Structure 1
């Protein structure tokens, strides 16, 4: 459904350090870096047919976060959820909501962890275990 997700950053080098570490947990490599015709710089992380992008705002104003917005990253195991969280916190992110772990509710059982990146964007690491037969 999505071709890419882009978030803004007020400090692209800080964001690169953060996302290089966090997205490496999921298997993403170094980002493609470019400078748009408008002069703003961007990072494009590509993995498994998807792109996650970090950009200086094109309008020259400060990057702000989406109130109520969350960007979810699919993880392959509960351990990868925990590692995503721990690496994010070790690289300038902030742990938010409940500690990483199993949540049970209307959506079934999910392993979740929530963090904010250094610019305040809310990220979720999610693993959905297979349903028991």
Structure 2
């Protein structure tokens, strides 16, 4: 459904260092930096057919976070959820909500971890076990 997700940043170099480390846990290559036609800088990570980007706000206003918004990243295992969380915190992120681990949901047991990136964007690492059958 989505072609990409992009968030703003107040410090592109800090954001690139954070997301290179965190998205590297998922197998993404380091972000590719480019300059938009407006002169603003951005970086993109591509993995598994998805694209994620960070950019300097084109309108010149400060970067802000979406109140109530969450960006979810699919993980291959509960261990990868934990590693995503731990790497995020080690690179300037903040652990939020409950500690990483299993949660009951209408979809069964999910393994989740929530962090905020250095700009305050809420990220979720999620592993959904495959159903037998």
The reply to whether TM is greater than 0.5 is: yes
Q: CA deviation at 1:47?
A: 0.7
The SS at the match of 2:23 is helix
The answer for the alignment partner of 1:36 in structure 2 is: 36
The answer for the alignment partner of 1:62 in structure 2 is: 62
The answer for the alignment partner of 1:126 in structure 2 is: 126
Two-structure CA RMSD over aligned residues (Å): 0.8
The answer for the alignment partner of 1:80 in structure 2 is: 80
The answer for the alignment partner of 2:11 in structure 1 is: 11
Q: CA deviation at 1:132?
A: 4.4
The answer for the alignment partner of 1:95 in structure 2 is: 95
- Structure 2 residue ranges without an equivalent (≥5): none
Q: Paired residues, what number?
A: 133
Q: CA deviation at 1:108?
A: 1.4
TM-score (ref. length: structure 1): 0.97
Cα-to-partner distance string for 1:45-103 (whole Å, 9 max, x where unaligned):
01111100000000011000000000000000000000000000000000000000000
- Is 1:24 aligned to residue 18 of structure 2? no
CA distance in 1, matches of 2:105, 2:50: 28
Runs ≥4 residues deviating over 2 A: none
- Structure 1 residue ranges without an equivalent (≥5): none
CA distance in 2, matches of 1:42, 1:99: 31
CA distance in 2, matches of 1:77, 1:70: 20
